[in-house]
């Protein structure tokens, strides 16, 4: 007999009705989870990945910017002038320090920081990392590392070091730290920042001391620079400038030594200077380089350029003469000679030998404003030389048509008043005469070494303001200036020197300073084959006159340079040249 089916209870009937819905929902949910899992395994939006990694690493990793090693700087003989050294940063990971009070006391003793301040930063900081001291010396960093406290971190940081101390500080410039790491300022460090600086990269640093770091790529190192500066010549002129400043009670001065044939700066110094290893202790006004950033009225050294310009334009000849009177008026101002005397009939050479203002003004007036100021511009005045050092200024030269131009400038600029230039501009212009009329751009870097690749920087020609014949003629006149017009203060035995003195007044907003001067001397040698040129300026010396103050400094430097540079006396060189000519004939 078949069993009779029992009727379902209301609960069973409700379950049977809902079961398909539940099963369907579970199947759809499982399917959705499967799709989500597959989607999660597929490539993600980089922004999502970055966010997830940031959340993951927030508590135990941090991002640190690691600059590549900065390139070194060497003198022309490979002597290091700027290199890199290591200092350290000391920090803590507060969450890892189990005994903050003991750690604070130990760190306080080494870092010379109040232990309560350290304790507060460990105990109350929510940050994964707290910097305590930066920079500290290698010795301090080693002492902290030897504490062996879990959670105390010692990180190396780069620092710039100048092994020669203050030597060539104004040429080199200095390096300081900014938000992106080390950066060069002034001089070579500033001008060649892009070449010297290594490429900065970001790297994750673990706050856990025993965490194994990822393999690190080698930092992109900056390029090395080889300068035209000669360390021995630099030391010589720095010593001589210091002696001259002390002897004359001057409040400043500059000496530059160059090779006029290619524009190489062999040495450059100004007073006062600074210590690039301790910039923070230096006077900020001393950080720039007056040789390229300070302009002055050059005075009578400008007469060399005036005569060369007049000879080049054919306004005068070497045998030209004029009647020198005590005073002439041009453009509404009185022009007088330095001795306020008249000198009668004077030729071109004696104009330079006796350094006559009236003669220079007579020459420039004969040239006319258009021709005269065009020649001044061809000699480089009124614009930067383009030397590869940060901070160069262009000087001041007012020409017809400028709002500040006056007719009197045609006369005064001829003897170095009413015009302003840097010492480097002045020497560069006279170098054109030393180099047969060809004016070379001054430079301080001769090579850039990028890894194993050596890039030789070629000398650059700025122009040819005079012909070789005019340059030779003016050189002969400058030789006579040294022989007859400087009281033998610039001569050295066995060598023919070409030079010119300058004694410039110092302008103020209301005229010129009384009884003060900038005494200067420019010269080059050997006169028949110039290999070195020098400018010397002394600000407010007690001796006042360039012939008495600056010329003797030139002679002392020249006596040492012929030895350092191996320049043979005139008689030896001329004998060798004669033998060579005979052999070649």
% of the chain at pLDDT higher than 90: 67
The pLDDT value recorded for residue 322 is 97
Whole-angstrom Cα distance, residue 46 to residue 400? 64
Q: Helix, strand or coil for residue 523?
A: strand
The pLDDT value recorded for residue 323 is 97
The pLDDT value recorded for residue 467 is 98
Q: Which positions ≥6 away from 507 have C-beta within 8 Å?
A: 297, 513
Would you give the distance in Å from CA 137 to the centre of its chain? 27
Whole-angstrom Cα distance, residue 440 to residue 260? 7
Detail the DSSP E strand segments found in 301-396. Answer: 321-324, 327-330, 333-336, 344-347
Q: Is the peptide bond before 343 cis (omega within 30 degrees of 0)?
A: no
Whole-angstrom Cα distance, residue 255 to residue 560? 15
Give residue 4's pLDDT band: very low, low, confident or very high (50, 70, 90).
Answer: low
The pLDDT value recorded for residue 211 is 43
% of the chain at pLDDT higher than 70: 87
Mean pLDDT in the chain?
89
Least confident of 217-231, 272-286, 370-384, 449-463: 217-231
Q: Are strands 61-67 and 73-74 parallel, antiparallel or unpaired?
A: unpaired
End-to-end alpha-carbon separation of the chain, Å? 148
The pLDDT value recorded for residue 213 is 45
Calculate helix-pair angle for 423-434, 468-484, nearest 10 degrees: 110
- The two structure tokens encoding residue 583: 């052999």
**Measured CA angle at 351 (ends 435, 547), to 5 deg:** 75
**Measured CA angle at 103 (ends 102, 109), to 5 deg:** 95
pLDDT digits (tens, 9 = 90+) for 413-429: 999 999 999 999 999 99
The pLDDT value recorded for residue 56 is 54
**Measured CA angle at 274 (ends 271, 280), to 5 deg:** 150
Structural domain boundaries in the chain: 77-197+220-227, 231-580
HSE at residue 233, side-chain half, CA atoms within 13 A, is: 27
pLDDT digits (tens, 9 = 90+) for 347-366: 999 999 999 999 999 999 99
Give residue 583's pLDDT band: very low, low, confident or very high (50, 70, 90).
Answer: very low
The pLDDT value recorded for residue 49 is 61
pLDDT digits (tens, 9 = 90+) for 274-323: 999 999 888 898 999 999 999 999 999 999 999 999 999 999 999 999 99
Whole-angstrom Cα distance, residue 287 to residue 279? 8
pLDDT digits (tens, 9 = 90+) for 24-33: 777 777 777 7
pLDDT digits (tens, 9 = 90+) for 440-484: 999 999 999 998 899 999 999 999 999 999 999 999 999 999 999
The pLDDT value recorded for residue 85 is 87
Least confident of 290-299, 543-552, 570-579: 570-579
217 has pLDDT over 50: no
22 has pLDDT over 80: no
The pLDDT value recorded for residue 44 is 62
The pLDDT value recorded for residue 306 is 98
- Check if the beta carbon of residue 258 is closer than 8 Å to that of residue 427: yes
Least confident of 106-115, 266-275, 519-528: 106-115
pLDDT digits (tens, 9 = 90+) for 101-160: 998 999 999 999 998 999 888 888 888 888 888 888 888 988 998 998 888 988 888 889
- Check if the beta carbon of residue 231 is closer than 8 Å to that of residue 165: no
DSSP 415: G
pLDDT digits (tens, 9 = 90+) for 42-59: 666 666 666 556 555 555
218 has pLDDT over 60: no
Helical (H) or strand (E) element with 64 = strand 61-67
Tell me the pTM: 0.83
The pLDDT value recorded for residue 41 is 65
Give residue 209's pLDDT band: very low, low, confident or very high (50, 70, 90).
Answer: very low
Query: Top-level CATH class of 231-580?
Result: alpha beta
Give residue 212's pLDDT band: very low, low, confident or very high (50, 70, 90).
Answer: very low
The pLDDT value recorded for residue 336 is 96
The pLDDT value recorded for residue 31 is 77
Per-residue pLDDT averaged across 527-534, rounded? 97
Q: Helix, strand or coil for residue 183?
A: strand
Per-residue pLDDT averaged across 556-566, rounded? 97
178 has pLDDT over 60: yes
Detail the DSSP E strand segments found in 124-214. Answer: 130-136, 152-161, 174-178, 181-185, 200-206
Q: Helix, strand or coil for residue 223?
A: coil
What is the architecture, at CATH level 2, of domain 77-197+220-227? Alpha-Beta Complex (3.90)
């Amino acid at each position: 007999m078949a069993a009779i089916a029992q009727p379902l209870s209301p609960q069973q009937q409700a379950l049977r009705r809902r079961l398909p819905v539940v099963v369907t929902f579970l199947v759809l949910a499982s399917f959705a989870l499967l799709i989500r899992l597959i989607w999660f395994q597929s490539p993600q939006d980089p922004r999502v990945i970055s966010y997830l990694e940031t959340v993951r690493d927030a508590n135990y990793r941090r991002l640190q910017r690691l600059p590549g090693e900065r390139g070194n700087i060497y003198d022309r003989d490979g002597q290091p002038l700027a290199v890199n050294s290591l200092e350290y940063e000391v920090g803590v990971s507060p969450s890892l320090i189990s005994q903050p009070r003991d750690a604070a006391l130990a760190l306080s003793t080494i870092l010379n920081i109040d232990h309560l301040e350290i304790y507060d930063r460990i105990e109350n900081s929510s940050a994964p990392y707290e910097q305590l001291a930066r920079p500290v010396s290698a010795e301090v960093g080693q002492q902290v590392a030897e504490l062996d406290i879990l959670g105390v971190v010692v990180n190396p940081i780069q620092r710039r070091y100048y092994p020669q101390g203050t030597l060539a500080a104004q040429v080199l410039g200095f390096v300081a730290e900014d938000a992106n790491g080390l950066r060069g300022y002034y001089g070579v460090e500033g001008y060649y920042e892009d070449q010297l600086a290594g490429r900065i990269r970001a790297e994750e640093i673990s706050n856990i001391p025993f965490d194994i770091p990822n393999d690190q790529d080698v930092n992109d190192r900056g390029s090395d620079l080889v300068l035209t500066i000669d360390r021995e010549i630099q030391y010589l002129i720095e010593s001589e400038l210091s002696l001259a400043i002390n002897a004359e009670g001057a409040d400043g001065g500059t000496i530059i030594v160059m090779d006029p044939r290619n524009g190489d700066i062999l040495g450059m110094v100004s007073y006062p200077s600074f210590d690039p290893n301790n910039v923070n202790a230096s006077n900020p006004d001393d950080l720039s380089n007056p040789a390229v950033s300070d302009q002055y009225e050059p005075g009578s050294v400008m007469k060399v350029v005036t005569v060369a310009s007049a000879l080049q334009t054919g306004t005068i000849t070497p045998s030209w003469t004029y009647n020198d009177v005590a005073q002439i008026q041009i453009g509404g101002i009185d022009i007088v000679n330095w001795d306020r005397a008249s000198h009668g009939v004077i030729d071109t050479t004696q104009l330079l030998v006796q350094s006559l203002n009236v003669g220079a003004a007579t020459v420039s007036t004969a040239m006319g404003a258009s021709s005269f100021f065009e020649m001044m511009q061809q000699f480089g005045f009124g614009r930067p030389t383009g030397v590869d050092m940060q901070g160069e200024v262009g000087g001041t030269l007012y020409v017809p048509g400028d709002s500040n131009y006056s007719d009197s400038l045609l006369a005064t600029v001829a003897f170095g008043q009413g015009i302003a230039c840097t010492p480097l501009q002045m020497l560069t212009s006279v170098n054109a005469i030393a180099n047969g009329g060809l004016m070379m751009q001054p430079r301080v870097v001769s090579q850039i070494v990028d890894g194993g690749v050596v890039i030789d920087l070629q000398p650059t020609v700025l122009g040819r303001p005079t012909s070789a014949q005019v340059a030779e003629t003016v050189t002969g006149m400058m030789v006579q200036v040294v022989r007859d017009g400087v009281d033998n203060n610039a001569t050295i035995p066995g060598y023919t020197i070409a030079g010119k003195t300058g004694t410039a007044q110092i302008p103020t907003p209301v005229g010129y300073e009384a009884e003060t001067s900038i005494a200067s001397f420019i010269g080059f040698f050997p006169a028949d084959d110039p290999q070195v040129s020098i400018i010397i300026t002394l600000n407010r010396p007690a001796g006042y006159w360039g012939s008495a103050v600056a010329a003797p400094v030139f002679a002392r430097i020249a006596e040492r340079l012929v030895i350092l540079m191996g320049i043979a006396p005139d008689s030896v060189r001329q004998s060798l040249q004669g033998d060579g000519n005979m052999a070649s004939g």
